[in-house]
Amino acid sequence: MPKKTKKAKLIAEYRRKLQHLESTSISVPSPISHEVFTLPVVTPNLPKSAPVLMDETESHAIRKELIKTIIIVALFIVFEFFLAKILK
């Protein structure tokens, strides 16, 4: 008698599961009435704060750092293209 293959084992397992599902009866639950519950809307009372303002020195420093970062990133990208061109 030949041995069962994995495919045959899977088919037999699915057949057993199908027979089990067909033998069980499916009962439909009766509809349940749902109550609607609404939560009251509560707005938090937060103290109003003044908007945060930056000094000119802070904005100047941020601009300076941003420009440095952009220049460094651009140099790295140019360097990568240069290396790719040389190593080709």
Q: Write out the two tokens for 37.
A: 């519950």
Q: Helices (DSSP H) in the chain: which residue ranges?
A: 6-23, 56-87
Report the C-alpha gap between 15 and 22 in whole angstroms. 10
List the chain pLDDT tens, one digit each, 88 residues. Answer: 577 788 888 899 999 988 888 777 666 667 777 777 787 888 878 788 777 777 888 889 999 999 999 999 999 999 999 999 998 7
pTM: 0.40
Indicate the DSSP class of residue 26. Answer: P
The domain limits of the chain are 59-88
> Rounded to whole angstroms, how far apart are CA atoms 23 and 16?
11
Q: How far apart are the first and last CA of the chain?
A: 63
